[in-house]
């Protein structure tokens, strides 16, 4: 089962970082957030990743083309140019890097990848979110549902402490609990290949609008609820929070 990662957006809400790099290349704990996402899927044995490129896609291409140089120590023999690598953190997977257009929207990017997906089912996520989701359980849930699509539903951590007040008395204080506002789209989708029938061949198609809305209206979209760690990286605050988790030790999304 192939994994699609949408990594082509402009990242305008975190422009402090995206002037020189695309958002999926923002460094979390010393390596791109995109790398962390790929490691999650690799941990569960999924070995084929397709990255949908757009804004500054060449930066992502360069990272993977020079993967060993970026992630390893090495010695260069200046006499003949031979390179010997040390401490090589290799991953047993293949990464396809596909340009899906500079301004293409999420649905349009996925539609452009149709010819690269030759399995009955595939996974999809965004290039800016981390979680400790059990990917195998997610896939099993999707296959048992018999529906065309599954979305991971999450409850984000509230930005501020939550108070419950009766008259002028605080009855409850919770520091940044899960939001009580309900479940939201956390990414980490699984789709049947037939989902492409819901995607128009249009670069302006937004995955989260008509395609998923119509899938839900047809009773073909399941929700896999995840109560564990999940965090998107929409703002500089989010970026700093994720890096802070790394400095405190093993981050909650890391499987090994």
E strands, the chain, where? 2-7, 27-28, 31-32, 48-53, 73-76, 83-86, 94-99, 121-126, 129-131, 149-154, 162-166, 169-174, 184-185, 189-192, 221-226, 230-232
Selection from 107, 189, 203 nearest residue 151 by Cα: 189
Q: Answer yes or no: are the C-beta atoms of 24 and 127 closer than 8 Å.
A: yes
pLDDT tier for residue 249 given thresholds of 50, 70 and 90: confident
Residue 179 pLDDT exceeds 70: no
pLDDT tier for residue 256 given thresholds of 50, 70 and 90: low
| Cβ neighbours of residue 212 closer than 8 Å, sequence gap 6 or more | 149, 151, 221
Residues 139-176: tens digit of each pLDDT: 999 999 999 999 999 988 766 555 455 555 445 445 55
Instruction: Return the H-helix or E-strand segment holding 142.
Output: helix 135-145
The mean pLDDT value for 232-255 works out to: 93
Q: Answer yes or no: are the C-beta atoms of 1 and 93 closer than 8 Å.
A: no
Residues 71-95: tens digit of each pLDDT: 888 899 998 989 888 887 778 899 9
Average the pLDDT over each of 26-30, 38-42, 162-166 and give the range with the smallest value: 162-166
The mean pLDDT value for 240-247 works out to: 95
Instruction: Tell how strand 129-131 and strand 27-28 pair up.
Output: unpaired
Q: For the chain, list the domains and their CATH numbers.
A: 2-247 (3.90.550.10)
Joined together, the tokens standing for residue 226 give 């995840």
CA distance 149 to 141: 11
pTM here?
0.89
Long-range contacts formed by 119-122: CB under 8 A, 24+ apart: 119/1, 119/2, 119/193, 120/192, 120/193, 121/1, 121/190, 121/191, 121/192, 121/193, 122/1, 122/2, 122/3, 122/4, 122/190, 122/191, 122/193
Selection from 251, 246, 232, 175 nearest residue 24 by Cα: 232
Average the pLDDT over each of 45-54, 86-95, 109-118, 239-248 and give the range with the smallest value: 86-95
The mean pLDDT value for 193-215 works out to: 94
Structure confidence at residue 88 (pLDDT): 74
Burial profile 208-222: b = 16 or more Cβ within 10 angstroms, e = fewer: eeebbeebeeeebbb
Residues 206-230: tens digit of each pLDDT: 999 999 999 999 999 999 999 999 9
């Amino acid at each position: 089962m192939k994994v699609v990662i949408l990594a082509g957006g402009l990242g305008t809400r975190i422009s402090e970082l995206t002037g020189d790099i695309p958002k999926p290349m923002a460094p979390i704990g010393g390596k791109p957030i995109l790398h962390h996402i790929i490691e999650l899927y690799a941990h569960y044995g999924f070995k084929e990743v397709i990255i949908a490129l757009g804004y500054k896609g060449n930066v992502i291409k360069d990272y993977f083309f020079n993967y060993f140089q970026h992630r390893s120590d090495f010695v260069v023999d200046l006499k003949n140019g031979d390179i010997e690598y040390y401490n090589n953190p290799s991953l047993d997977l293949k990464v396809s890097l596909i340009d899906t257009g500079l301004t293409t929207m999420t649905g349009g990017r996925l539609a452009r990848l149709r010819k690269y997906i030759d399995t009955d089912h595939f996974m999809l996520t965004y290039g800016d979110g981390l979680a400790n989701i059990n990917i195998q359980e997610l896939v099993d849930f999707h296959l048992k549902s018999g529906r065309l699509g599954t979305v991971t539903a999450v409850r984000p951590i509230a930005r501020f402490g939550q108070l419950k007040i009766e008259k002028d008395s605080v009855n409850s204080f919770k520091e940044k609990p899960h939001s009580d506002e309900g479940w939201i789209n956390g990414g980490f989708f699984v789709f049947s290949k037939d989902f492409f029938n819901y995607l128009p061949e249009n670069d302006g198609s937004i995955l989260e609008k008509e395609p998923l809305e119509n899938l839900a209206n047809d009773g073909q979209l399941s929700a896999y609820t995840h109560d564990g760690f999940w965090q998107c990286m929409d703002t500089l605050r989010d970026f700093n929070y994720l890096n802070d988790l790394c400095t405190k030790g093993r981050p909650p999304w890391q499987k090994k």
